[in-house]
Amino acid sequence: MTRVMMMFFVALTMALAVPAIAAEPSSEYRESFNDGWLFHNGEAPGAEASDFDDSQWRPQDLPHDWAIEGPFDIKYNARCGGLPFHGTGWYRKTFDTPAGSKGKAVLVTFDGAMYDAHVWVNGQFVGNRPYGYIEFQFDISKYLNDEGANTIAVRLTPEDLSSRWYPGAGIYRNVWIDVRNPVRVDQWGTFVTTPQVTDQAATVSVETTLTGDLTGADVQVKYEVFDPNGKVVATSTKPAAEKTSTQLTVNDPMRWDIESPHLYRLKTTVLSGEETLDVVQSRFGIRTLEFSKDKGFALNGKHTRIQGVCLHHDNGPLGAIVNRRAIERKLQIMKQMGVNSVRTSHNPPSNELLDLCDEMGILVQVEAFDVWMKAKVPNGYNKFFEEWAERDIKDMVRRDRNHPSVFMWSIGNEILEQASKEDGNRIAKQLNDYVKSLDTTRPTTCGFNWYPGPYATGMAGQVDIAGMNYKPLAYGDPVNAYLPNNPVVGSETSSCTSSRGVYHLPIEKYQTHESKQVTSYDIIGPPWAYPPDIEFDALEKHPEILGEYVWTGFDYLGEPTPYGGKDNNTNGYWNEDWPSRSSYFGAVDLCGFPKDRFYLYQSQWTEEPMVHVLPHWNWENTGHDTIPVIAYSNCDEVELFVNGESAGRRIKGKDLTKIPVKFNRYEKDHLMSKYRMSWDVPFAPGSLRVVGYLDGKPVAEKEIKTAGAPARVKLTPDREELAADGSDLSYVTVRIEDAEGNFCPLASNLVRFTVDGAGTIAAVGNGNAATTAPFIANQREAFNGLCMLIIKSAKHAGEITIRAESDGLQADHASIDAK
């Protein structure tokens, strides 16, 4: 074993700890800087000056994504969502010099701005940061007036073809202002590990980086560890230095894991005599990680298969803006599917996502880049890589390295340097070394898709874990021949595409369909893609593989494969199949409605008995007399009842279903899947009911009925109480039903919304990837019977009343309390 691999396996036995919410702020000093901004979309020469006339600019609180407002237009690139995200946007804010800030540091922190942010204060240039996904902070103390008003101006210049998906535009993540003493904990200055963990005790090792002049000062650093119940369980005080270290012992530690994500808190206090100079609160968790070439991954000593999904950063109809509730809901839906891990494809995530994963027990692979030096699109990150890559990836690690949810670092995805032995090896080693210089407690990885190129050249060996994109046929001996020591993970898998509620007959493999939709029989994908069943089978045969990250958990804006264009086509626009402008890859659509594929994964990834049946049962006058019926279940057997009569039982794993398969390097044209149970059923209006059995006993069932004509609208808020904070959300499902209350699976009625009281419409949607209807509106057509209304609370308490109307249908209303 090489020295690098020995260090890697030693390091992986360490458990980790986590920084505080919102990138380790000093909770006693930090305040939100989101409110009271002005926004202008377009050029504004001289807007950095304090005396610039911004009286015609519009008020805009943050976070904000200017492009999601639209309009959709064919002149924009569908691969990037068909929205106007590029151009120039300006933000300005007038604020008073904070009281008591004389002689102190006034810090402004941007969690992310898209992109190439330039910042001025009182007309003086402060600095810039190109990468839209990275957090950055400026000390603006020397630019402030001694007292009275100040002006901060931010210019963003996102470019066309800067991304392969929808990046959003604007200051789309949170902004903060801190007033801190000159001697203080530095940004991301607390690093906590637990190098020794047993059931009896855990060693908590802390390294604190201070900034400011410590010469001749009698400064000490006091550490206090609080358990998940808020009780102090360990303390230590050390003389301050630029780097101050200590070790504490926590007895009877409560581990952070997927089922019970226990979180501890470290309070770091910087003292000068009796005076408190700084206080930083840092959440952390105690847990161990082990990765083995032969045995896979173990969390706290327990073998754990990665049941992961790739997620882009957008929040569907809300655009790229960060919203804690939107992210929480997304993760809740993923957990219902059985997901235990997320890959942040293909960029550093928001603080909110990592905080929520800490709290919810979801493992995270944090990814740095989609591109290095070689361009995938003309204006991608490659323009900034040489100057900024080291700082960006190191800042990513510093910010995120204490989150217990973070268990892998990815240095890149499908990098074009895979084709170059010299460049690929050199840059991969360089990025890997940057990560290891700051954190040796987690492995590095990279998503490779050009098998066997980067394996044969040694590039894949520059990271600890080989990420294989869409290569299940190479698991085992083929990849082991190149990498005999490195663990392997399916870093992108399946890439199956579908549209919720769409079923094309007969079942056949096709590239595109005239409807601009994709069948939900879960068989269609681009040339590299394959049905989920292929990956399930490969992972069963190779238990040493760590697991998989499905492409993708949710649909996302942009990249409407299989419509529009070819991936990594540098100068290509994807508008040939307009209005297709959003992803079809998700197991869940853009609004959060599960597709059938959601239940296929649930049948493999969950233990609570479940059964699902497809398609819908409204086939009158379609010309299809016999309908293929499919069931997904984690039960031993499933029985289908058609209009009350049994159509027979199917035994999972024994009664196989033939599905068409065609993808790169696959020699057959089909798979006999043991993960689907099927029947060919003559259509007759009525009902389909499936019953799942374990040990011969019925434990789960689902029924769908033939619906009559649409008769009414039904509103169902996911939350009936919101925080009156101006950002909390309720997702209201809007369902079209017949007179008997049956779901109408083909309905496309236009629904109009009226909202009054202590809330507003944040956005609307329906999951249709091929429509130019705006997200910021007060109406939406149903897509296959469903649409979504997203309500945002106001900053005052009260009742929010909602009314939904549609021509010819019975209206509905709902109420939500903002408290």
Please confirm, yes or no, whether 43 is among the known catalytic residues: no
Pairwise CA distance, residues 715 & 414, whole Å: 43
Q: In which order are the strands placed within the sheet that holds 136-139? A: 31-32, 175-180, 105-110, 136-139
Helices (H), 472-576: 477-480, 532-541
Tokens of 12: 């992986």
Catalytic residue among 135, 352, 367, 414: 414
Backbone torsions φ then ψ of 707, nearest 5 degrees: -95, 150
Q: How many residues would you count in the chain?
A: 819
Burial of 259 (0-12, 13-18, 19+ CB in 10 A): exposed
Pairwise CA distance, residues 717 & 729, whole Å: 10
Cα separation of the two ends of the chain: 59
Pairwise CA distance, residues 344 & 659, whole Å: 31
Strands 677-682 and 786-793: unpaired
Q: In which order are the strands placed within the sheet that holds 721-722? A: 721-722, 812-818, 798-805, 750-757, 779-781
Is residue 142 classed as helix, strand or coil in its secondary structure? Answer: helix
Is residue 535 classed as helix, strand or coil in its secondary structure? Answer: helix
Contact criterion met (CB below 8 Å) for 620 and 647: no
SS (H, E, C) 392-430: HHHHHHHHHCCCCCEEEEEEEECCHHHHCHHHHHHHHHH
Is residue 796 classed as helix, strand or coil in its secondary structure? Answer: coil
Tokens of 288: 């161990």
What is the DSSP track for 295-352? TEEEETTEE--EEEEEE-S--GGGTT---HHHHHHHHHHHHHHT--EEEETTS---HH
Contact criterion met (CB below 8 Å) for 413 and 446: yes
Angle at 424 between CA 420 and CA 426, to 5 degrees: 125
How many Cβ atoms from other residues are within 10 Å of residue 571's Cβ?
8
Bond into 584 cis (ω within 30):
no
Please confirm, yes or no, whether 740 is among the known catalytic residues: no
Half-sphere exposure of 400 (CA within 13 A, CB side): 36
Catalytic residue among 135, 492, 535, 639: 492
Element (H, E) at 17: none
The alpha carbon of 197 is separated from its chain's Cα centroid by a whole number of angstroms, namely 30
Pairwise CA distance, residues 204 & 402, whole Å: 12
Burial letters 424-458, b for 16+ CB under 10 A, else e: bbebbbebbebbbebbebbbbbbbbbbbebbbebe
Residues noted as catalytic? 414, 492
